[in-house]
Structure 1
Amino acid sequence: MKKSFVFVIHLGFWVAYFFLLFVILAAATMGFSSGISPGYLAKVGFSFAVLPPFITFYLCYCQLFPKYIQTNKTGLSLVYGVLYAVGAALVGGLSLSLFFGSGVMFKDGSVSFLSEIACMSLIGLAAGIMGIILKGFINWYDEIKLKEALLEKNTEIELALVKAQLDPHFLFNTINNIDALILRDPKVASEYLNKLSEILRFMLFETKTEAIALSKEIEYIEKYIALQKTRTLNDNFVRFTLSGSIAHQMISPMVLIPFIENAFKHTGNKKAADAITISLAVTDKKIVFECQNKYSDNNKSQIADHGIGNDLIRKRIALLYPGKHDLSITNVNQCYKVTLTLTHD
Structure 2
Amino acid sequence: MSYLLSLLDKSPIDEGGTAVEALRATVRLAQRAEELGYHRFWVAEHHSMLNLASSAPETLIAYLLARTARIRVGSGGVMLQHYSAYKVAENFNLLASLAPGRVDLGVGKAPGGFPLSTRALQVGIDPAAKPDFAQQLSDINRYLAADPAQDGPHATPFPPSAPERFLLGASVESAQLAAAKGWRLVFAGQLNGDPENLRLTFEAYERMSGGRTPILALAAYAAEDAALARRAVGDLRIVKVFLTDGRSVNVGTEEQASEYARQAGVAIDRLESKVPSVLHGTAADVRSQLDDLSSRYGIGEFIIETPALASAERFASIERLAKERLSLAA
Instruction: Give 1 or 2 for the bigger CA radius of gyration.
Output: 1
Higher relative contact order (CA 8 A, sep 6+): 2
Q: Report the TM-score range of the alignment, normalised by the length of the smaller protein.
A: under 0.3
Query: Which structure is higher in helix share?
Result: 1
Q: TM-score, normalised by structure 1?
A: 0.17
TM-score (norm 2): 0.18
Which structure has more strand as a fraction of its residues? 2
